[in-house]
A and B are shown apart, each in its own frame.
Chain A
Amino acid sequence: MSTVLVLVEHTDGELARTSRETLTLARNLTEPVEGHLEVAAVGTWSDELRKEAAAFGVTAVHTLEHELLDADAPPAAVAEAVRQLMGVVTPSVVLGAASERGTPSFAHLAARTDLPLAANCTAVETVDDGWELTRLRWGGVLYEDAHLDAEVALLTVAPHQIAAVPATMPGPAELEPFTPELDEALTVARPVAREALSGGISLATAPVVLAGGRGMGSAEAFAVLEELASLLGGAVGCSRVATNAGWRSHNDQVGQTGTRVAPDLYLACGISGATQHWVGCMNAKRIVAVNTDAEAPMVTRAHEAVLGDLHEFLPALLEEVRSRKGG
């Protein structure tokens, strides 16, 4: 009987969405053979979390208990704890979300176990001589089918590629605390300070993103997007061209090496739509492109397009929004 181990994350007594997605993928590896779906978690475990884990078919919960494992625990310490737990539960597969914390934790786990690690997976199945999996490349515009040959498979799961679905049969989610032996040296990369972003609506979670690219022509031209953003409760984004030209801070950059956004509406102004940018906005529910070039990739991929000069269109839109808000 095989055991699949998932490193889950939780905040405010709820499993992270990416962890629920990871549990859903992990369950495919335990079914139809009756296997164990066990989880490891850092931080205070609650009864609500137990219920949620049970609903996803979890058989056992290993809370990692050590004074060094708090909210600021560096990924090396989390990885070392999971490595030691692997010695006890002897899983065939260990998975986690390719999240801000999961990604470095699994890199450290891979380094500490010297096992191969497949990052950003969207599917996996057991085959005779290992596993076959699909993972994202180029920020998600390409899939790679790969074969993994390893003693234990380490996988991170790409966020928001799999719908999180509870199990048909809930699991007992029995609590089995685990206390690793951790050396003080593992905390060398622990944060010594935190700096919060200064106010405003975050680009990553804004319901509407008003983005500008090369066609904006100047830093000043973004003022109209700023004003629209404040009227609509959205955020201003930009392409790499706008960042490199010094018009906007990199914090505003949407794309493979910037921020990934998934707003209800993405307004792409003067952005041609290179792959680098497209992967950052392709998950928007609706895309409206404004461009002089009807053949620009951003226009041909958008749901709707406005052709012509954005310097004529944007002031008119601002006026229209103002008058509708006033009325």
Chain B
Amino acid sequence: MRLLVCVKRVPAPGAKITLTPDGSEVDTTHLGFTVSPHEECAVEEAVRLVAAHGGSSTVLTLGPLAAEDQLRNAIAMGIDHGTLLPMEGPEWDARAVAGAIVDAVRVLEEDDGRFDLMLFGNESADAGNHQVAVRVAHALGRPVVDGVKGIEVTDGEVALRRAVADGHTVHHLPLPAVAAVKEGLNLPRYPAMRGRLMAKKATIRHVEPRHREGGLRRLRLRAPEQQRTETTVLGTGAAAAPAVADILEEVGLL
């Protein structure tokens, strides 16, 4: 089977996110870059599905040239091919991103055949638009389920488990299909040295994206006002137990 995984390069923030002085971007001077945990799981799942059912997998991203790093990381984990839709400048909105992905999927499918399953992260770590997978699925006329934490492919069909508040719902989709997955789907592997060396040499295909005006334009980013409360130190080690038990009583738990 043929799989496509879509990822997004995002900064890997530590404990605090700092903004550029004009508030237009996250200050990434001291940050590394990564993809969302949801997308790491999507990559891992694609590698496992190809190992189990044969076929090939492709990882795709829309982003700056530096986003090749994220594609190579996925290849190091076991993905076969990488495709970059190169763009520079301010972030595109979800509608524009989905349009560019649909165009690229049509190009890739015309060359190498249909993707049986397309995996997305449920939402990106930074923008959190919660819609790109559904837009792409709809444009391509394929069924889609979001919030997926379990995937099982059988003959011509995929069973998806969607996490809901009180458990799971199970959905059976005919292939080709689309799933927006969540962390917890699997435990992603660390790429082995051999994979990393191969990924370094891998050829990344570039497909030029066409930008359409999406409609949603960022004006600025702001950090919410912190209500800075002084931390009261209750004590050290075992000696603090009675003070914490007092808090448990205070909030009515004891």
Contacts and interface: CB of A to CB of B under 8 A. Distances in A.
**Do A and B associate with each other?**
yes
Nearest to B142: A188
B192 interface: no
B17 A265 contact: no
Contact of B241 (A72, A119, A304, A319): A319
Contacts of B184: 243, 249-251, 253, 258
A189 B173 contact: yes
A181 to B, nearest CB: 18
B154 interface: no
Contacts of B143: 188-189
B247 A304 contact: yes
A54 interface: no
B17 A196 contact: no
A156 B95 CA distance: 15
Interface in A221-275: 232-234, 240, 243-244, 246, 249-251, 253, 256-258, 264-265, 267, 272-275
Contacts of A309: 237
Given A143-B224, A303-B232, A208 B17 contact: no
B234 A304 contact: yes
B205 interface: no
A274 B32 CA distance: 14
B94 interface: yes
Interface in A275-327: 275-276, 278, 285-286, 288-289, 294, 297, 299-309, 312-313, 315-317, 319-321, 324-325
Interface string B85-101: 00000000111001000
A257 B240 contact: no
Contacts of A75: 134, 146
Nearest to B217: A147
Interface residues of B, number: 86
B48 interface: no
Contacts of B237: 306-309, 312-313, 316
A14 interface: no
Nearest to A112: B138
Name A's interface SS.
Answer: mixed
Which bracket fits the contact residues of A? 35 or more
Nearest to A149: B215
A156 B94 CA distance: 14
Contacts of A191: 162, 169-171
Nearest to A299: B231
B166 A307 contact: no
B131 A193 contact: no
B215 A148 contact: yes
Interface stretch (A56-64, A98-106, A212-220): A98-106
A308 B161 CA distance: 42
Interface of B: 13-17, 19, 26, 36-38, 93-95, 98, 123, 125-131, 133-135, 137-139, 143-147, 149, 161-162, 164-174, 182-184, 187, 213-224, 229, 231-245, 247-249, 251-254
9 closest A-B pairs by beta carbon, nearest first, are A116-B215, A250-B184, A111-B138, A297-B15, A316-B238, A308-B237, A191-B169, A107-B134, A316-B241
